[in-house]
Structures are given as C-alpha cells and as structure tokens.
Amino acid sequence: MRDLYLGRVLQWALGGLACSALLVVACGDDEATVKAVNDVDAGAEVLDSGSAEPLADAGDASDAADAFVPCGPGDEVKTTVGDGGATLSLCGATLEVPEGALEAGSPVGIAVVAAPAAPWFDHELSGPVFRFTPDDIALELPAKIGLTRDTTKARGPVLARWLPVEKEWGEHEGCLKDDVLSLETIGLGTFGLMQDVNTYPPAASGLGTATVSLDLGGVATSWTVPGNGGYAVYEPGVDGRSFMLVARRTEGDDLEALDIRGVIQNNQPSGIVQVSWLTTAPDAKSWSWVEPIHGPATSFTMTETSPGTYTGELHVVGHYGDETTEMGATFTMTPGKFRPPPSYSCGHPEGDPR
C-alpha cells in the first residue's frame, strides 16, 4: 500500500504545481490506467454469465441515465454483434461495442454479479457490480462501458474494476457526463462504483491548525495556519495518511504561500514529496522541490507529539530554473481530515497508445 499513498500524494503534489498550488487543493491526472487499491483475496472468481443468446430488445444506452435502478445477481442481458456493432443496457449500466471491435455474430452481454471482494478501505459499493463480456479477449477497437451514479449520494463515486489475477479492486479515472461514469477500453471485465463512506468538508481552506517557520536562503519567516485561506489536512488510508500543509499570507498586494506535502505511514518513517515557496510579487522568485524530479530531501523528520498533532523539520534544495537555494522549515500541525473529490477525465481510451 506504500506505493498507493505515495502515488496519491504525488498526484496532489504534481497536480498542485500544474494547477497553481496557490489557488487549488489538487487536480487529477489524465491517466486511464488502472490503479490497484487493496489486497483482498476474493476466493472464487465472479459468476459466469453463461452462454450469450440474442435478445429481441437489448435496451437503449440512453436508458442508463434515466435513474439509479437497484438490481441483483442473476439479472443479465445478452445479444450478438451486428453490422453496426451492439448496444446493451441493464440496471443503469451500458455497453456500446462499435462496428469492427468484434466479428459480426460474436456474443456480448452485461450481467449483475456478486461482488468478488469487499470494497477497499472507507468505501462501499454504490450500486450493483456488473460483468461486461466478452472479458477474456482484447477487442480490436475500444468499447464504451457506463455506470450510472447514485445521485442521492453527496459525494461522487469512483470507477472500480476487479483485477482477477491480482484478486483485488483497482481504480480507473472515468469520464462523468449526465450522471454516467464511463470508460472506453479494449478489455471488458467486472466493474462497479465505489463510494467514500465519510462525510468531508467541501473545501480544505481553513481546516486544521499549524505554526510554521521557514528559512529560505538564510531569510527566516513564520506563519500561523489557517491564515489567508491556509490549511493543514490529511487524507486517510489503510496503512497511513497523506498530508498537506499550506501556509499563506498577504504582503501588500502580493500573496505568499508555503506548500508542504508528504505521507505518514503506520510503523514506517514518514516521508515528504514536495516543498514549494510561491509568491506573486513581480520581482521575487518562487522555489520548489519535488522528490521525483529533484531527488531525495536533504533531511526530514516528523513525530506525533500528541494524538493527532505532529512536529516536523525538513531541509531541501529549492529550484528556480537552473538556480537553487537552501530551504528549511519547522512546523507543528494538527491536520483536519479531508479528501479531495474524485477527479474525472475524458481522455484517450484505455489501450489507445496516443
């Protein structure tokens, strides 16, 4: 799970740089690759949807957006690919197979199946689990699957796929449109929507408390969080949590911000992945250090001095183009629990090399 948390906090870090960390919490990437998120042994594989038989009316893909419809294992629709492909819908799920993806006459189907394993940490299934078939071959062209989200839920879901070899759920970044979370893929399989069971504040601004001191190239300064929209937050996980500390202040008409992001892991040393000093002053420089780009931190320590309160010290080399400077900081923070809303993308289909 360590790689998962590092991946999440790197998404926070790199996304924040790309989207101006002065103004936003996090931005999603545009990857369509699946990310494993737990390690549950599901035992038996998902139910076999049986041999495919043509249906007189497989439904219309637009039916999926009408409402969230509960279904149970055993419900299924099947048809065969015609000259124009095939379209199916069942209980809020859709499958669109374009012409040329499979040979004419090939069976396709959607079946509601029992969940092959429990949802990952702090999540629940939001609706049925669907098996889209054929799921044992690669299609010649991407097919489009869609799952209708439950609009009674306050927080958007994520698209989860069962990985039979790894025996665990993985997460896809789908495309959300008209309450349908969709994915274009050359590999069909078993999918469901995962819903975070927690209730989170709508934004990070103002959450948590902290005191921070920064030494930037020998010049010392300090902040109290929250201030000018600063925050100290953590995102919970199975084996630890990722944290983000943002201290802000105004100097005249200019805004200055210190952004520190890292991970707190159970029974392992804490880690840091980003430190940024950002300013809007026209003659000043903004400095940043990001671990995968600039190499390891010079030093970093953090301890939990009381339940929920952490004290840390860091030293990194900040970069501004080809220039560098020493950056050191000490902080004490009591972060608030927060998780950025799911990010959705409508990028290239999975398997598309472009």
Q: What is the pLDDT of residue 73?
A: 86
pTM of the model: 0.65
- Which amino acid does the sequence have at 166? E
Q: How far apart are CA 27 and CA 345, in angstroms?
A: 11
Minimum mean pLDDT range among 32-41, 125-134, 135-144, 268-277: 32-41
| Helix, coil or strand: residue 124 | strand
Q: What is the pLDDT of residue 236?
A: 82
Question: What are the phi and psi torsion angles at 80 (to 5°)?
Answer: -120, 155
User: What percent of the chain lies above the pLDDT cut of 90?
Assistant: 58
Q: List, in sequence order, every beta strand (DSSP E) within 39-179.
A: 76-80, 86-90, 93-97, 107-113, 123-125, 129-133, 143-148, 158-163, 168-172, 175-177
pLDDT band at 36 (very low <50, low <70, confident <90, very high): low
Q: What is the pLDDT of residues 211-226, one digit of tens each?
A: 999 999 899 999 999 9
Mean pLDDT of the chain: 81
Q: What is the pLDDT of residue 107?
A: 96
Q: What is the pLDDT of residues 261-300, one digit of tens each?
A: 999 887 788 899 999 999 999 989 999 999 999 999 999 9
Reference 193, options 179, 214, 211; nearest CA is: 179
Reference 180, options 211, 214, 145; nearest CA is: 145
Average pLDDT over residues 111-136: 94
Average pLDDT over residues 42-62: 35
* 16, containing H or E segment: helix 2-18
